[in-house]
Structure 1
Amino acid sequence: MHRRATLVLLCGLPASGKTTLARRLAAELPAVRLCADEWLTDLGADLFDAGLRARLERRFWRLAQDLLGQGRSVILESGFWRRADRDEKRAGARALGAAVELRFLDVPLDELARRLEVRNAEAPWATAVIPPALLESHAPLFEPPSPAELALFDPPAC
């Protein structure tokens, strides 16, 4: 059976499990997985360089549109903290005839802090070291999707 191209947006705060889920979905769908943290780390770039991250995310979106237009599924791991970003990607992918899934990883702040401590201690070289205090100060900027917004997306294929 031929599957419709799908854009999967992974929405959640740091340490919510986006990369773990993305790796599983990439194999199951199959899909191309685009993760700015991994690219920036591999390039030896500063993960907190907002300008560089924004340019990379724009490039990922152009690549995702090309792939979706070719019938390929794509996973974007940006976190999608803002509703406006999620709306933009949903509209753009739908204009290409793709299905669009939003996977919201809703993890309590205390659990995220615990996971970050473990991740920071086990593999500080693999990703950005994010102190729990930074997570707590930035968490209020996150706009979690409401049930009404979640209903605007396609149900998960797997």
Structure 2
Amino acid sequence: MNQKPTLHFFCGKMASGKSTLAQTLAQENNAVLISEDIWLSKLYSEEINEFSDYLKYSSRLKTILSPHLQHLLLQGVSIVLDFPGNTPSQRNWFRSIFESVGVNHLLHYIIASNELCKQQLKIRSKDQPEGSAFTTDEEFEAITQYFQPPTPEEGFKIEIYQKDEMVNFVDNN
């Protein structure tokens, strides 16, 4: 391959559309899509019952995946990581991956109101059984309190999507 591979990753509130965008980007960029939700549900479905459990098992998954992701990138494979980058510490994990192997990166930042995310959360959750992880407005509020948008000081290449209504993404760049 002549072009350096790219690590794509995301920042956006719960139910803002990160997974939908991830699927689209993987197809458009002929990239490998790796989804945290899928891996966690397959590996730790019975262990994750509250947010602290998610944090514990997400950390374990990242430790396992990091060298694998670096290897794929070194082989010239672009990757779309459908993992949240909603805090500086989460985004630093992505940075550690792309900087360690010297590849391109792109942070896809989805801006959406709490109201829109809650609407989308209800739609997404309607087919899940009661008690499924992180599906209520209260859980949304509890998790969203930790959300921190990316800042210019973090130094990421960022593509911004403004999502005002339940329509397609609009690129503001």
TM-score by length of 2: 0.77
SS at match of 1:138: helix
Q: Map of 1:1-20 to 2, 5 A cutoff?
A: 2-20=2-20
State the superposition RMSD in angstroms.
2.4
1:79 deviates by 1.0
Q: Percent identity, aligned pairs only? A: 28
Residue 128 of structure 2: aligned partner: 124
SS at match of 1:105: strand
Q: Does 1:40 align with 2:40?
A: yes
1:15 deviates by 0.8
Distance in 2 of aligned mates of 1:91 and 1:43:
24
Count of residues in Structure 1 that have an aligned counterpart in Structure 2: 153
Per-residue CA distance 1:128-156 (angstroms, 9 max, x = gap): 3510111112212111112x147532669
1:85 deviates by 2.7
| Conservation of the 8 A alpha-carbon contact between 1:102 and 1:150 | no
Residue 153 of structure 1: aligned partner: 157
Greater strand proportion: 2
Aligned with residue 102 of structure 1, among 102, 107, 121: 107
Distance in 2 of aligned mates of 1:130 and 1:155:
27
| Between 43-52 and 3-12, the greater mean CA deviation after superposition | 43-52
Runs of 4+ in structure 1 over 4 Å off: none
1:61 deviates by 2.3
Distance in 1 of aligned mates of 2:43 and 2:88:
29
Q: Which runs of 5+ in 1 are unaligned?
A: none
Q: Which runs of 5+ in 2 are unaligned?
A: 161-173
